[in-house]
Amino acid sequence: MHPFDHLAPETLDAAVEALAGDEDAQALAGGMSLVPVLRHRLAAPSALIDLSRIPGLSFVREEGDRVVIGAMTRHAVVAASPELGRRIPALARLAGDIGDPLVRNRGTIGGSLANNDPAACYPCALLGLGAVVRTNRREIAADDFILGTFETALEPGELIVAVTFPVPDLAVHLKEKNFASRFSVVGLFLSRRGGQVRIGITGAGPHAFRPTAFEEALTADFRPDALKGLAVPAEELNTDQHASAAYRSHLISVLAERAVERCLAGDGDARGDRA
């Protein structure tokens, strides 16, 4: 690693001030993405602003027809949350399938979303549920948050404090994983709320995205057959050592049909409680 200072502010304002005072400083949440980058000397921040001592950033709570998760909430806590398990069980299941026990007990939802890895799990749930990212400055809708590969709408000195997820009528998360890293070769999060269908895809392209043609077809006719003949063009997707773009295109269609089948079958992970 390159040398750096380590600061552990105990308030959000102090963390924001530390970041504003040093343009080469970087925020540290769980460190599951950042630490490997530092270890391989691929980044050289002047300081790490450790967010772990700031109170009030780790929680899962219900707010009416929404579930709000604090930015520093560990994946394992999200997975085990009884509130989330009752209201959006598909999101709890997603969290429980991230990485390995070390990653799930150290990594945080805010850190994952701020990093915006193209194969990370939370971005597809963000898009698939139409969530809202709360920062120290504003609220950012899911569709405005993800801009590109490892790129988000967060501005310098802006920190995620929580994520608000609307409770759907139905939701399913499916994931074809790399069994070494458990990152998504293709991950899909489908939700239906008031007849409106949203789908988030991760692992397949340069960043998470919504296949709007799939959503429109399922909003009009929520059956697997509504997707026949639809596909995300392979030229928009990634080819790497794990899968070709053509395979990823095929897999998106397969997972979308399976997700609808699970919803219609009344799968226990698909139906939450909106009450």
Cβ(6)–Cβ(26) below 8 Å: no
Q: How confident is the model at residue 149, as a pLDDT?
A: 96
Q: For residue 249, is pLDDT > 90? A: yes
pLDDT 10s digits, 45-90: 899 999 999 999 999 999 999 999 999 999 999 999 999 999 999 9
Q: Give the pLDDT mean for 12-38.
A: 90
Q: How confident is the model at residue 206 (pLDDT cuts 50, 70, 90)?
A: very high
Interval 160-172: pLDDT, tens:
999 999 999 999 9
What was the pLDDT predicted at 274?
A: 66
Percent of the chain clearing pLDDT 90 (strictly above) = 84
Q: Is the pLDDT of residue 179 over 90?
A: no
pTM for this prediction: 0.95
Q: Give the chain's mean pLDDT.
A: 94
Instruction: Return contacts of 221-226, CB within 8 angstroms, 24+ apart.
Output: 222/192, 222/197, 222/260, 222/263, 222/264, 223/260, 223/264, 224/257, 224/260, 224/261, 226/260
Give me the pLDDT at residue 153, please: 98
pLDDT at 122 over 90: yes
Q: Which residue has the higher pLDDT, 31 or 136?
A: 136
Q: Distance between CA 252 and CA 257 in Å, rounded?
A: 9
Residue 75 has a pLDDT of 98
The string of pLDDT tens digits covering residues 214-240 is: 999 999 999 999 999 999 999 999 999
Residue 116: left if φ>0, alpha if ψ -120 to 50, beta else—which one? left
| Segment 267-274 mean pLDDT | 76
CA distances, 253 to each of 48, 184, 229 (Å): 41, 15, 9
Q: Nearest Cα to 117, choosing from 176, 67, 187, 45?
A: 187
Collapsing DSSP states into helix, strand and coil, what is residue 37?
helix
Mean pLDDT, rounded, for 258-265: 96
pLDDT of amino acid 221: 98
From 34-38, 64-68, 138-142, 268-272, the region with the lowest mean pLDDT: 268-272
DSSP code of residue 158: -
Handedness of CA 23, 106, 117, 12 (dihedral sign): negative
Alpha helices, DSSP H, located in 171-211: none
Question: Measured between alpha carbons, how far is 127 from 72 in angstroms, rounded to an integer?
Answer: 20
